[in-house]
C-alpha cells in the first residue's frame, strides 16, 4: 500500500483550543510578535519545536512507574546507562537535565578565549555555550547545505577541506574538539552520511583531535543513511547508530528529541580525565552523577524511548510524515528546503518574501503570519536567531528559514492537512506581509525574548 499509517493508535487525548484569527492577532500583538512569548493555550497547532513535545508511549508511561528516586545508584540510573551504551558505547555517560546543560559542561571544560570549535552548523544553544566561554563557533557545512534548493542527499555533511584549512589556520592546539550535528537542525534537519563521518574522523586522527557528535536526532539520521547511502540499505538502524558512535570520542545529547522523553539529556565520552572534569561541573550545576539533572522516572522514560526510537516501523512513519507536509508545500509552489529533513519542514522565507531584506526579518514576518491566519506556531531560523554577533554587530544569517517542526507521534494527518491549507493561503498573500522591526532584545539568544513590531511595506 502507498499509505504509510501511524504505527500506533491513540490511547489518551489532549484537547486543542479552537480560536479565531482575531484572537490570534490580539495574542501575537500582546506577545511583541514573538512566538516564544505566546501562551501555549493560544496556539492551535504547535510546530515551534520537536523538542520535548512528543507523545510518550504506553510503555514509557509504564516505565515512569518504575522510577526509583534514590539519590545515588538508583536502578533507574542503570536502566538509563545500559540503554544509552547499547547504542552509544562510550565509557562515561553523564546525565543532564537537557542537551544545553551537556553543552555548557563540555565547553566550560574545553572552551575558552582563543579556542575555535568547528561544527557542520552549531545549534543556537551550542553556539551560545561556545561563545559564552570566549571561544569561537565556526560552521563548516558543505556548500550544498547552504543552498535550500540543492537536492544533495546529505546536506548536513561537513566540508572536509574547510575543516582541515581551519585547523591549520588556527593551529590544532586551539581546536579542543570537532563537533558534528546529526541531523543538522539549523541547516534544515539534513542528515550527515556515514562516509562523511568517517572522513571527519580521519581528519581528526591526522591532527589528534577528538570528535563529538551532537546526536539529538541520531535515529532519524541513521534512517536517512539506511535509505540514501550506498551499501547501507537494509541495515539495522541500531547497528548504524553504533557505527556512528564508534567514529566519535563523545557526544552531547538532548533526550527531548529522538529518545521521545519530555526532558533529559546526557554528555558521554571515552576520555577519563575529561569525564572527571565534567562530573565535577555536573555535581555543582546539575546533580549527583547517577541522576544528573533528572528524576529516576525521567531516566526510565528515556531508556524506554531509546528502544522505541530505533524501531523501523516508527522511523518509516516519522520520516514519511515529515515528507508528506514538505511535498504538499512544494506542490503549492512554496519554496522549502529540499530534500525534506527528518524532524521538520523548513520554508525558505527569504525566497517567499523577497520584498523583505534579511535584517527586516522575513522569517519572523512569515512565522507571525502563519500564527495570525491559522494559530500555527513555527520558529524563525534566520537573522533573528543568528544575526547578532558576539561583537554586537548584526549580519544576515546564511538562510532565512521558518521551521515547522513536527512533534513526535502528536499530530495526525488531518492536523497536517490543516497546516498545508494555512500555509497555502498565507503564501498567496506573501507580497503583502510586513517587515519586522526589533523593539528590544536581550544580549544573548535574543530570539527567545526579543520584541518586534510590524513595519508596513508597500507591496
Residue numbers of the site for ligand PLP (CB under 6 A)?
Answer: 51, 98-100, 123, 125-126, 181, 185, 214, 216, 254, 256, 265
CB contact burial 35-69 (16+ within 10 A = b; e otherwise): beebeeebbbbbbbbbbbbbbbbeebeebbebbbe
Q: Which of 129/434 has CB closer to ligand PLP?
A: 129
Question: 93: which 3 cell numbers?
Answer: 555517560
Least distance from C-beta 22 to ligand PLP, angstroms? 32
| 34 vs 434 by CB, closer to ligand PLP | 34
State in angstroms the smallest separation of the CB of 97 from ligand PLP. Answer: 8
* Other Cβ atoms within 10 Å of 171 Cβ, number: 11
In the three-class reduction of DSSP (H, G, I as helix; E, B as strand; rest coil), residue 251 is classed as: strand
Q: Which is nearer to ligand PLP, 67 or 265 (CB)?
A: 265
Question: What is the grid cell recorded at 221?
Answer: 539520521
DSSP one-letter string for 311-370: -HHHHHHHHHHHHHHHHHHHHTT--B-SS--SSEEEEEHHHHTTTS-GGG-HHHHHHHHH
C-alpha distances in Å from residue 211, one per residue of 86, 99, 168, 246, 261: 20, 17, 17, 10, 26
CB of 253 to ligand PLP, least distance (A): 8
Core vs surface per residue 113-143: b (16+ CB within 10 A) or e:
eebbbbbbbbbbbbbbbbbebebbbbbbbbe
3-state secondary structure of 269: strand
Q: Smallest distance, Å, CB 43 to ligand PLP?
A: 18
Spatial contact of 60 and 260, defined as CB atoms under 8 Å apart: yes
Q: How far is the CB of 312 from ligand PLP (least distance, A)?
A: 23
Least Cβ distance, residue 385 to ligand PLP (angstroms): 12
Q: How far is the CB of 216 from ligand PLP (least distance, A)?
A: 4
Distances (CA, A) of 296 to 44, 87, 330: 32, 20, 44
CB nearer ligand PLP, residue 74 or residue 126:
126
Closer residue to ligand PLP (CB): 282 or 420: 282
Residue nearer to ligand PLP on the CB measure, 214 or 298 = 214
Which position's Cβ is nearest ligand PLP? Answer: 99
Judged by beta carbon, residue 125 or residue 290, the one nearer ligand PLP is 125
Amino acid at each position: 500500500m502507498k499509505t504509510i499509517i501511524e504505527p500506533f493508535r491513540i490511547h489518551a487525548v489532549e484537547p486543542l483550543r479552537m480560536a479565531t484569527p482575531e484572537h490570534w492577532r490580539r495574542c501575537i500583538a500582546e506577545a511583541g510578535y514573538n512566538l516564544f512569548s505566546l501562551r501555549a493555550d493560544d496556539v492551535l497547532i504547535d510546530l515551534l519545536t520537536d523538542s520535548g513535545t512528543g507523545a510518550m508511549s504506553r510503555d514509557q508511561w509504564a516505565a515512569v512507574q518504575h522510577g526509583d528516586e534514590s539519590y545515588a545508584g538508583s536502578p533507574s540510573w542503570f536502566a538509563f546507562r545500559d540503554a544509552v551504551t547499547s547504542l552509544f558505547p562510550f565509557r562515561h555517560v553523564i546525565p543532564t537535565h537537557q542537551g544545553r546543560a551537556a553543552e555548557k559542561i563540555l565547553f566550560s571544560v574545553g572552551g575558552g578565549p582563543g579556542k575555535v570549535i568547528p561544527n557542520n552548523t552549531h545549534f543556537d544553544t551550542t553556539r551560545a555555550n561556545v561563545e559564552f566561554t570566549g571561544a569561537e563557533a565556526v560552521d563548516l557545512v558543505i556548500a550544498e547545505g547552504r543552498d535550500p534548493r540543492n537536492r544533495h542527499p546529505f546536506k548536513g555533511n561537513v566540508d572536509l577541506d574547510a575543516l582541515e584549512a581551519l585547523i591549520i589556520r588556527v593551529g590544532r592546539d586551539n581546536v579542543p574538539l570537532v563537533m558534528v550535528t546529526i541531523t543538522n537542525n539549523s541547516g534544515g534537519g539534513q542528515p550527515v552520511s556515514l562516509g562523511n563521518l568517517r572522513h571527519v574522523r580521519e581528519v581528526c586522527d591526522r591532527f589528534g583531535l577528538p570528535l563529538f557528535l551532537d546526536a539529538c536526532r541520531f535515529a532519524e539520521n541513521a534512517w536517512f543513511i539506511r535509505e540514501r547511502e550506498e551499501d547501507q540499505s537494509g541495515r539495522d538502524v541500531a547497528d548504524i547508530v553504533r557505527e556512528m558512535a564508534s567514529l566519535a570520542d563523545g557526544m552531547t545529547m538532548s533526550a527531548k528529541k529522538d529518545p521521545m522523553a519530555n526532558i533529559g539529556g546526557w554528555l558521554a565520552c571515552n576520555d577519563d580525565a575529561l569525564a572527571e572534569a565534567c562530573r565535577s561541573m555536573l555535581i555543582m550545576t546539575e546533580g549527583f552523577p547517577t541522576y544528573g539533572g533528572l528524576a529516576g522516572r525521567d531516566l526510565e522514560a528515556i531508556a524506554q524511548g531509546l528502544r522505541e526510537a530505533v524501531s523501523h516501523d516508527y522511523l518509516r512513519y516519522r520520516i514519511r510524515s515529515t515528507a508528506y507536509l514538505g511535498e504538499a508545500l512544494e506542490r503549492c509552489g512554496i519554496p522549502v528546503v529540499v530534500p525534506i529533513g527528518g524532524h521538520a519542514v523548513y520554508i525558505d522565507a527569504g525566497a517567499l518574501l523577497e520584498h523583505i531584506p534579511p535584517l527586516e526579518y522575513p522569517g519572523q514576518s512569515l512565522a507571525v503570519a502563519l500564527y495570525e491566519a491559522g494559530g500555527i506556531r513555527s520558529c524563525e531560523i534566520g537573522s533573528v536567531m543568528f544575526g547578532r554577533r558576539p561583537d554586537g554587530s548584526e549580519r544576515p544569517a546564511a538562510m532565512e528559514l521558518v521551521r515547522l517542526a513536527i512533534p513526535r507521534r502528536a499530530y495526525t494527518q488531518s492536523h497536517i492537512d490543516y497546516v498545508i491549507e494555512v500555509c497555502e493561503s498565507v503564501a498567496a498573500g506573501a507580497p503583502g506581509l510586513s517587515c519586522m522591526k526589533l523593539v528590544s532584545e536581550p544580549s544573548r539568544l535574543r530570539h527567545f525574548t526579543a520584541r518586534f513590531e510590524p513595519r508596513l511595506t508597500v507591496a
